[in-house]
Amino acid sequence: MKKSLLLMSLGVIAFLTSYSQQIDTTKVLSLEEVVIKENNLLSEIERMPDMKENVIYAGKKTEVIQLDKINADLSTNNTRQVFAKVPGMSIWENDGSGIQAGVAARGLSPNRSWEFNVRQNGYDISSEVFGYPESYYTPPMEAMRKIEVIRGAASLQYGPQFGGVLNYQIKKGNPNKPISFETQETIGSYGLFNSYNAIGGTYKKLSYYGFIHQRAAEGWRKNSRYTIYTGYFSVNYQLTKKIKLEGEYTNMSYKSQQPGGLTDAQFDDNHRQSFRERNWFSAPFNVASLTIKYDISSSISIQIKSFTTIAERNSVGFTKAIIFKDSINPTTLEYNARQVDCDNYKNYGTEVRASVKYKFFGKENIFAGGLRAYSGNTKRNQLGAGTTGYNFDLTLTNPQYGRSLEFTTTNYAAFAENIFQIGNRLKVVPGIRFDYIENESEGYINTSQTGTINRNKKVRQILLYGIGSELKVTEKTNIYANYSLAYRPVTFSELTPSATTEIIDPNLKDASGFNADFGYRGSVKNYLSFDVGVFYLNYDNRIGTITQNGAPFKTNIGNSVSKGVESYIEINPIKIFTDNFKFGNISFFASNSLIDAKYVKWNNPAITSDPSKSIEGKRVENAPQYIHRYGATYYLKGFSATFQLSSVGDVFTDATNTETPNSTGTIGKLSGYEVMDASLSYRFMNHYNLKAGVNNILDEKYATRRASGYPGPGIMPGNVRTVFVSIGASF
């Protein structure tokens, strides 16, 4: 695969170089991206340009969060505050550590952001992008300069997902100094200590940036302490005027005690209690990339990005239902052995992206396309017999795991989009993508003879297409519309029977469907910013288990549709009248989403005669009917303060919309909630800053999710009131 990809890349470069010599022989100086701002107001949320790094974004719904311009608790990766101005973002909270971001949009599941294609600086960082797309690694927010959110239409450029793309952009070295330094030290409630230290700069043709990050706390719930360490280093070298090399490496490791879930009665009695003192989780992650950027001419550019993820997912604990107590064995006078689960991930990939600007009927058009090759390997060992102790310990008392599986994925893809400029106002952007995906699995799900899974291969060839458009209404506003197909490959857990009696449908299909957007966005002078639109998400071939011939049968159970309204409006009323007001300025924002997510088809033939048992017409699990966030920011010179209110509707946690919770707390309706946050910052003496804030001001008791398995089944309480104070400096 690597050899074929190298030959493919060289061929593309040779062709484009030859073509460029025919149309442009001028020398080009490669420059960093420059964002021109006409004012410094309402700039926390930006939009992606028509094209960036050979990827087309015209006609798509996009948001770019400027991390250095927002007041939020970055020390704990508080996603509720960071994504406040991105309408429709559903947030899962369960431990307050901020180690893993769980976000989703448009009624999809926020479980470790697995409905997004999650990337860092443009490359994959999930466990396995096709078979196990959960994100155990989230960069520290203090290290980010931007978070790019591209909704479902991104499937043509980035591949499998329904939610879109979430791309974390890490800071770069100061372009004006050979060496610069920044530090941010934070203390907070429940023993929080967060330390972020970074160094970077530019010397002649070399630019670099690196940071060391540490965060630790006892946690607001019993049995919820954690420690996390992250290190990162990048280097950029301008080899020639046209060729630039970039390399980066990230190492992250953490240990987190998992307090587990509660029954609803326990949650109502005391949501800070925990009955799981022996449960631990750890996920060491190593990710790296190497990028070559070649500006062949002023019209043609090519980028080759190779990346790898070598990581683990380790857990040890007692994970039976909460009604089964983690008790001491009366014979040994020790606790029973804990369960040990260990995953190992080794993923490698390369993406080649090229763009060509050309004239067509007197207008400049842009073609952007590319090729992708990817190989992923996951080794999954579960149900190991662990120790009887309390601390994080993956030692096995029996060398053989109860379940051992190995999955491999091979993916090749080709994709292309084109911006056609029609007249002076209209852009039309058709696109297409072809994916070849091959999955293999083997191993055993238990140690009996019937538990062996012989090597099983599944191959599919998937064609996606779509079209987008963008109409300029005024100089700063436009109407956008987009339609594109999307899909989600069958995951590893869906390819594997959970028990020896379960049967996998040999005709199991990948989830498929489409995303559609229509909206109006832009700004009015320097006092109003907005993006108001509607969406429609069709999700076919959802996978589940039904009973057939007296045995569990895993198959495609039905289809769902999510539709609704998303709006973001921010206004500075003072700027309507004057640009200079000696008492400062204040802006107000409203980020609203109305979501109607329901099942529209149910494929269980066993119950078609009893419509009352069908899920058709039921609400999709974990999909609130509304997500509203409101806020205000006051700023005067170096001081700014932000107040925010988050209001989220109730959710069902199963497809049958069970109202009354079960005895284990894994199923049942979760009530809606309202949470208020406040934060402030003060920059002084050019180099220093002071930040502080209160999260969940009124100490609201709420829950965003229920766990069915690890880290302990049951209702997972949302975060309580916490306070933080931070001081920083940059030189």
User: Would you state the torsion angle of the CA atoms of residues 57, 61, 67, 70, taken in this order, to the nearest 10 degrees?
Assistant: 150
Tokens 């994080």 locate to 392
Give the tokens for residue 109: 């599941």
Q: Say whether pLDDT at 408 is over 60.
A: yes
The predicted pLDDT at position 605 comes to: 61
Rounded Cα gap, residues 153 and 470, in angstroms = 14
pTM above 0.85, yes or no: yes
Q: How many helices and strands (H and E) does the chain possess?
A: 5, 36
Instruction: Tell me whether residue 113 is exposed, middle or buried, using C-beta atoms within 10 angstroms of its C-beta: 0 to 12, 13 to 18, 19 or more.
Output: buried
Q: How far apart are CA 364 and CA 423, in angstroms?
A: 10
Q: Confirm if 363 and 4 have CB atoms less than 8 A apart.
A: no
What are the pLDDT digits (tens) for 420-466? 999 999 999 999 999 999 989 999 988 777 778 888 888 889 999 99
Name the nearest CA neighbour of 704 among 217, 73, 81, 109: 109
Specify the amino acid at residue 603.
N
Asked if 56 contacts 625 with a C-beta cutoff of 8 angstroms, the reply is no
Backbone angles phi, psi at 151, to 5 degrees: -70, -170
The more confidently predicted of residues 411 and 36 is 411
- Whether pLDDT at 574 is above 70: yes
- H/E element holding 271? none
Q: Where exactly are the structural domains of the chain?
A: 2-730
Cβ atoms within 10 Å, residue 613: 12
Q: Is there a contact between 418 and 368 (Cβ–Cβ < 8 Å)?
A: yes
In tens, the pLDDT along 95-116 reads 888 898 999 999 999 989 999 9
8 Å CB contact between 668 and 662: yes
> Residue 183 burial by CB count (10 A; 0-12/13-18/19+): exposed, middle or buried?
middle
Counting Cα atoms < 13 Å in the Cβ hemisphere of 695 gives 25
Exposed / middle / buried, residue 682 (Cβ in 10 Å: 0-12, 13-18, 19+) = middle
Highest mean predicted confidence (pLDDT) among 118-127, 506-515, 711-720? 118-127
In sequence order, which ranges of 482-566 are alpha helices (DSSP H)?
Answer: 492-495
Cβ pair 592, 631 in contact under 8 A: no
pLDDT at 579: 83
Please name the residue that has the structure tokens 């067509």: 360
**What CATH number belongs to 2-730?**
2.40.170.20
CA gap 130, 160 in Å, rounded: 7
Which tens digit of pLDDT belongs to each residue from 648-706? 999 998 888 889 999 889 889 999 999 999 999 999 999 999 999 999 999 999 999 99
DSSP annotation string for 595-616: EEEEEEEE--GGGTT-GGG--T
Q: Which residue, 503, 417, 424, 523, is CA-closest to 468?
A: 417
Residue 40's pLDDT is what?
Answer: 47
Q: What SS3 state is found at 497?
A: coil
pLDDT per residue as tens digits for the range 9-33:
444 434 434 444 443 433 333 344 4
Phi, psi of 14 (to 5 degrees): -65, -45
pLDDT in tens, 410-421: 999 999 999 999
Candidates 400, 295, 411; CA nearest to 353 is 295
Indicate the pLDDT class of residue 496, thresholds 50, 70 and 90: confident
Given a contact cutoff of 8 angstroms between Cβ atoms, the answer to whether 136 and 285 are in contact is yes
588 Cβ neighbours under 8 A, 6+ residues apart: 570, 571, 572, 573, 630, 631, 632
| pLDDT band at 350; cut points 50, 70, 90 | very high
How far is 161 from 129, CA to CA, in rounded Å? Answer: 9
CA distances from 414 to 11, 156, 162, 595 (A): 15, 9, 19, 33
pLDDT at 614 over 90: no
* Average confidence score pLDDT of the chain: 89
CB 716 within 8 A of CB 706: yes
Q: Which residues contact 512 (CB under 8 A, 6 or more apart)?
A: 485, 486, 487, 488, 540, 541
Closest CA to 550 of 506, 503, 504, 608: 503
Beta strands in 67-143 (DSSP E): 89-92, 102-105, 116-120, 123-124
* Rounded Cα gap, residues 340 and 401, in angstroms: 8
Q: Cα–Cα distance between 33 and 605 in angstroms, integer? A: 56
Residue-wise pLDDT for 61-105, tens only, equals 999 999 999 999 999 999 999 999 999 999 998 788 889 899 999
Q: What is the pLDDT of residue 30?
A: 38
Q: Where does 521-630 have alpha helices with state H?
A: none
509: number of Cβ within 10 Å: 14
Residue 80 is encoded by which pair of tokens? 């509720």
Higher pLDDT, residue 494 or 626: 626
* DSSP summary character for residue 337: P
The span from the CA of 198 to the CA of 196, in Å, is: 7
Banded pLDDT at 557 (limits 50, 70, 90):
confident
Taken as a whole, the chain contains a residue count of 731
